[in-house]
Structure 1
Amino acid sequence: MATRGITVLRGGVESVAATAAAAERAGFGTAWTPEFYTRSAIVTLARMATVTADVRLGTSIAYATGRSPLMLATEARSLDELCGGRLVLGLGTGTRRMMEDWHGLDGAAPAVRMEELVPLLRSIWRLHEEPVAHDGRFYRTHLVPTAETTAPVRPDIPVYTAGVNPRMIEVAGRVGDGLLGHPLFSRPYLEEVVRPAIDRGREKGERPDAPVELCGVLICAVHDDADLARREAAAQLAFYCAPKTYGPLLEASGFGGVGERVRAAFAAKDFAAMAAAVPDEMVDAMAAAGTAAEVRARVAQAEAEFDHVITYPPSFGLTEERCDELAAALVDELAPGRG
């Protein structure tokens, strides 16, 4: 059976750390923290490390393009030390617009950029063995120790990459230890696009037998009022449908028209219309929403499709109080073994 995890987008550092601690007590295998313009994944995970002891901790994701390779490598090394070798470094680039407008970088060739970055990070983690001399398309790093250099807790920190479109998914097969899936993945997309892309990446990276853990990020909304839970999940799905980048994914899953309607509503700043544009069929295909029993059944189904399932409470358009309720409900109702 796939192990089960949890991630929380909305909330402060302390509340996310508290959820991680509660998830560990409930028997979850992993706890993750995303990154947005409101919270650092690196700082949040550092706090999570101080309140947990055994659960695997991951960034889902940290922005790879907003940090230099050296800073990213040293941050990861320090985090892995802080949590005693429990870190999974999940990296992503965000959309091209995010790369250009948020980070001020060239948004071209994000997959090639990531394929250059990940091996470079691993070289920096092995600086105690030899200097780093790298001149690439996106990065130049020449690093010779000026003092005694000790080995990190683990020179092989697992690196998971995020991907949506086929070429970006290939990155995980070429250089990664895992793929962090997208909340809009449907079962047809998983079978027809995701798995073949990982395999192509393995072949092109000349590592056909490399283990690549396939992680599904599943939006989960629990409430005694099943219809309310479904509308909360629909709103979060709409949040992810808004970028035009994800149009091909929606088309491949049979929901291209939904993406068009959501984008039109987003342009008009009509957030209620965004959620209303997401049909029940899409909620069923991409999320887990309803009563606790219904959500547990859907999560169990997802665990047959992925190597690891990361449950994710919706937050788009919800109050802070409801966000906290949803996170607590997932920990309580989806604790491994319950039901």
Structure 2
Amino acid sequence: MRADGSDRDSEGVTTRGITVLAGGLTETVEITRAADRAGFDGAWSGEFLNRSAVVSVAAMAAATERIGVGTAIAYAVGRSPLVLANDARFLDELSGGRLTLGLGTGTRGMMIGWHGVTDPDGPASRMEELLPLLRRLWRLHEGPVRHEGRFYTCDITPTADIQPPVRPEIPIYTAGVNARMIEVAGRVSDGLICHPTLTDRYLEETARPAIERGAAKTGRGAADVRLKGVIITSIHDDPDVARREAAAQIAFYVAPKAYGPVMEASGFGDEAAAIQAAFRAKDHDAMVAAVSDRMLDEMAAAGTLDEVRDRVALLEKRYDHAALYSPSFTMAAERVTENTFAIIEAFRR
């Protein structure tokens, strides 16, 4: 992601970003400023039980002038289309047109328990209804927006002069893991936010075909859908420490039962079953131990500085934009911060 919203640079080289999902707002801003000074193309922040993507990205945008900023992800549920459209409008204005809006729904349990969604069925259909509606709301200055759908209803007539947004089209990326949700990117979004556990096999056998199916259904070209990857990255003088940190993060992501079929399709069904069994037993050490070396190397860059540089160079070729990301599961906050700044320094342009 570049400040102009593009991904690969003028020579077709993958652009590089940093992802911040741990720490407070102060650390998030400091990391983004450091990434900006180091020549990174993008900085991303997500949300969770104790984190707001919208507020984080607002602070990141206000503290910088060049680097692209993006939500990865903001929850598309729990906010009305108008609220979400206006959040994005103001983030794009605050950043001077540097925003990429990354959206996801979370799991079914998160939709119900965290966001109070009463109709959690059809999350992919929900996204396919939401994105065109957001784009219409960004053109509210042109006239009323009326919509009656399965998930959303809008009947909005402007009652005062509404200025057009900074950009008529803010790039929207959608997150997807299973084939149907990945297909959403092909149908209606500008890019796919790939899960950190994505592998070459899953990309070629599942993700790319799903994007192509989605694009064909709406008359688009699959090449118009950009790939934003997240690369778990851990740098340490002791490669065993770095690999354990990365393995812990992989185990954290694979622990939900819903990821079993995804891991099976990637050739890691046995590892996933062992991780999930250890998770149910609340045995973190066993979860980490169940991550095989082959699995780790497919999903992360971990080791000494030189080892990580070489591994990132291989993994980022999958994507148009690669966001490097420090693991945090079972790690001390100080170590997460240290590793994040080490990543930025290692890939300074």
Tell me by how many angstroms 1:282 deviates: 0.7
Indicate the SS of the match to 1:31: strand
Tell me by how many angstroms 1:208 deviates: 2.6
Select 1:131's aligned residue among 144, 166, 190.
144
Where does the alignment leave 5 or more consecutive residues of structure 1 unmatched? none
Q: Provide the rounded CA distance (Å) in 2 between the counterparts of 1:111 and 1:146.
A: 33
Q: Give the aligned partner of residue 242 of structure 2.
A: 229
Q: Provide the rounded CA distance (Å) in 2 between the counterparts of 1:149 and 1:325.
A: 45
Kindly indicate whether residue 176 of structure 2 is the aligned counterpart of residue 163 of structure 1: yes
Select 1:189's aligned residue among 202, 219, 223.
202
Select 1:84's aligned residue among 89, 96, 110.
96
Select 1:96's aligned residue among 104, 108, 113.
108
Select 2:282's aligned residue among 259, 265, 269.
269
**Which 4+ stretches in 1 moved above 3 angstroms?**
none
Q: Quick one: percent identity of the two aligned structures?
A: 59
Q: 1:54 is aligned with what amino acid?
A: R
Question: Which deviations, in whole Å up to 9, do the C-alpha atoms of 1:289-321 show, x marking residues without a partner?
Answer: 001111111111122221111101000000011
Q: 2:37 is aligned with what amino acid?
A: R
Q: Give the aligned partner of residue 152 of structure 1.
A: 165
Q: Provide the rounded CA distance (Å) in 1 between the counterparts of 2:114 and 2:255.
A: 17
Tell me by how many angstroms 1:15 deviates: 0.5
Report if the CA contact (8 A) 1:202-1:210 is conserved: no
When residues 284 and 209 of structure 1 are mapped into structure 2, their CA distance, relative to the original with a 3 A threshold, is: closer
Select 1:35's aligned residue among 26, 32, 47.
47
Q: Give the aligned partner of residue 327 of structure 1.
A: 340
Select 2:26's aligned residue among 14, 18, 22.
14
Q: Give the aligned partner of residue 10 of structure 2.
A: none
Q: Provide the rounded CA distance (Å) in 1 between the counterparts of 2:260 and 2:113.
A: 20
Kindly indicate whether residue 85 of structure 2 is the aligned counterpart of residue 73 of structure 1: yes
Q: Give the aligned partner of residue 316 of structure 1.
A: 329
Q: Provide the rounded CA distance (Å) in 1 between the counterparts of 2:293 and 2:130.
A: 40
When residues 200 and 77 of structure 1 are mapped into structure 2, their CA distance, relative to the original with a 3 A threshold, is: same
Moved more, 270-279 or 62-71: 270-279
Q: 1:217 is aligned with what amino acid?
A: V
Kindly indicate whether residue 296 of structure 2 is the aligned counterpart of residue 278 of structure 1: no
Report if the CA contact (8 A) 1:33-1:59 is conserved: yes
User: TM-score, with normalisation over the residues of structure 2?
Assistant: 0.94
Select 1:62's aligned residue among 46, 54, 74.
74
Where does the alignment leave 5 or more consecutive residues of structure 2 unmatched? 1-12
Question: Which deviations, in whole Å up to 9, do the C-alpha atoms of 1:212-249 show, x marking residues without a partner?
Answer: 11011110000110111000000000010011121111
Indicate the SS of the match to 2:140: coil
Tell me by how many angstroms 1:287 deviates: 0.7
Indicate the SS of the match to 1:195: helix
Select 1:244's aligned residue among 243, 246, 257.
257
Indicate the SS of the match to 2:306: helix
Kindly indicate whether residue 54 of structure 2 is the aligned counterpart of residue 45 of structure 1: no
Q: Provide the rounded CA distance (Å) in 1 between the counterparts of 2:173 and 2:113.
A: 24
Q: 1:296 is aligned with what amino acid?
A: R
Q: Provide the rounded CA distance (Å) in 2 between the counterparts of 1:318 and 1:157.
A: 35
Q: Provide the rounded CA distance (Å) in 1 between the counterparts of 2:267 and 2:49.
A: 31
When residues 209 and 170 of structure 1 are mapped into structure 2, their CA distance, relative to the original with a 3 A threshold, is: closer
Tell me by how many angstroms 1:335 deviates: 2.1
